[in-house]
Amino acid sequence: MSLHRRTVLALPLAASATQAAAQSVTGESFAAAERAILAGRTPVAEGIVIDMPPLSENGNAVDLSIRVASPMTEADHVTAIHILSERNPFPRVARFGLSPRAGRAEVATRIRLATTQTVLVLAETSTGQVHRAGREVIVVLGACVDGG
Amino acid sequence: MSVASIVARITLPDSAAKGEVVPVRVIVRHPMERAVDAPGLRPVPRRILHTLVVTYAGAEVFRMEMSPGIAANPYVEFTTVAVETGDMVFEWREDGGAVYRREARLVVA
């Protein structure tokens, strides 16, 4: 028999390694994406309201709206809003670029979610402050056909 | 750089007062093909709209950078300050370099 005991024992490890790789096709992990956006700044856990159903039947299109409290003046406005996904193949779902011409820091879109996970929102402001908020969402049927 | 037309529905108020913050809703027909490769599937190359840039009254007022994590027929809603009567220009950039453009008129009373 050519199949050694240690080879068999290593099999589940190899399988989970491929799964981990499938989690991030771009090679950038969720944590790394968040670190890259924060660029050393410490976020504050306030100022963001996320509106998303707590349970989604279909991960192919999940409604998500984001409201950031900001005066949206030349001196103090939101410059960017990021949507990050904890367990999608691509952690960076979308980035919105805003200016005082937006009037309000409010955006809404529809995203794909692979599975039950946390959706993270980061909002960068012109003053250098970063706001951070997360929302858990239960996804019944994931957006990925391969089950990952 | 070719500019093609694309099926999109852009919703703006009929008219707005100067300085009013108006909502803008945009939905565009696109499969957002994300290159899914799995057993039993024929792999197709990734083809998504990766950027939407909105310009109005001489400046970029909104930008959205999209990933394969955005649902097919991408929908977005944002706000803008009504500055003057003029065309809002919506420009989508697709993988492979195609650019699609649509305009919508905002009437400021």
Q: What is the C-alpha radius of gyration for chain A, rounded to an integer number of angstroms?
A: 19
pLDDT of res. B83: 96
Enumerate the residues of chain B whose CB falls inside 8 A of the CB of residue A94. 64-67, 69-70
**Would you say B74 and B28 are in contact if contact means Cβ atoms under 8 Å apart?**
yes
Smallest CA–CA distance from A111 into chain B, residue: B70
Q: Which residue of B has its CA nearest to A94?
A: B66
Q: Which domains does chain A have, with CATH numbers?
A: 28-141 (2.60.40.2470)
Question: Residues of chain B with pLDDT > 90: what percent?
Answer: 81
pLDDT of residue A23: 47
Task: Give this prediction's pTM.
Answer: 0.86
Domain boundaries, position B31:
3-35+44-106
Calpha distance A55→A58 (Å, rounded):
9
Spatial CA neighbour of A126 closest among A66, A74, A69, A48: A74
Domain tally for chain B?
A: 1
Q: What is the CATH number of the domain that holds B23?
A: 2.60.40.10
Mean pLDDT of all residues belonging to chain B: 93
Phi, psi of A48 (to 5 degrees): -120, 130
Digit-by-digit pLDDT tens for chain A (148 residues) are: 455 655 544 544 444 444 443 445 567 899 999 999 999 999 999 999 999 999 999 999 999 999 999 999 999 999 999 999 999 999 999 999 999 999 999 999 999 999 999 999 999 999 999 999 999 999 999 886 554 4
The count of CB pairs under 8 A between chains A and B is 100
- In B, minimum Cα distance to A61 occurs at B71
Is A95 an interface residue toward B (CB < 8 Å)?
yes
What are φ and ψ of residue A60, in 5° steps? Answer: -70, -25
How far apart, in whole angstroms, are the C-alpha atoms of residue B63 and residue B51? 7
What is the per-residue pLDDT for B43? 79
What's residue A5's pLDDT?
Answer: 57
| Residue at B77: amino acid letter | E
What is the average pLDDT across B81-90? Answer: 97
Question: Distance between CA B15 and CA B20 in Å, rounded?
Answer: 10
Rounded to two decimals, the ipTM of the complex is 0.92
Whether residues A101 and B21 touch (CB distance < 8 A) is answered with no
Residue B92 · residue B100 · CB < 8 Å: yes
Residue A1 to chain B, least CA–CA distance (Å)? 30
A90 touches chain B (CB under 8 A): yes
| pLDDT: which is higher, B6 or B93 | B93
Closest CA to B28 of B97, B76, B60: B76
